[in-house]
Structure 1
Amino acid sequence: MTTKWFKAAGIRAIKTAAQTAIGVIGATTVMNEVDWYVVGGTVLLATITSFLTSLAGLPEVASSQEADRK
């Protein structure tokens, strides 16, 4: 794993965390009260899942590595 991979995986994880937070906050607001423990736990789980999914490969890192070889 390289610095490029960590940067790309981090960006993906941050985007996933933000999208998850928006969804969970929106869903819990409908129920009249935002449970911040549920929001935090769900965002953390989504972020970890994003990093684990990135272990399978990141297209932006693979394409930049191929360009570096040429």
Structure 2
Amino acid sequence: MFTVVFWKGTAERAAKSAAQALILFWGLGDGLLSLWSVSPVDSLGIAAGAVVLSLLTSILSIGAGPVGSPSLVREQPVAGGSAPPAAS
């Protein structure tokens, strides 16, 4: 948890979660044409909520996946017997 790699991965996940939540939020109702009627404060709240949830799930994933990673998914060997190179 105290590595640059962990926090880079966590930040990437949080940014993706915020973008996904905003796209979903903006797409509700009349679709993107109603985007102009959406409150910027509401949009910020939705994005912030997604970021907080993403950060919490990354932190709670410590120890479940690869060491130093915010992921729950362990690396699997590639067919042919060799594993992919570890991220540095």
TM-score, normalized by length of structure 1? 0.74
Structure 1 regions of 5+ residues with no counterpart?
none
Cα distance in structure 1, aligned partners of 2:52 and 2:59: 11
Residue 49 of structure 1 corresponds to 53
Structure 2 regions of 5+ residues with no counterpart?
76-85
RMSD of Structure 2 on Structure 1 (CA): 2.6
Structure number with higher helix proportion: 1
- Structure with max Cα Rg: 2
Identity %: 29
More relative contact order, 1 or 2 (CA 8 Å, 6+ apart)? 1
4+ residue runs of structure 1 moved beyond 4 angstroms?
none
TM-score, normalized by length of structure 2? 0.61
How many residues are aligned here?
65
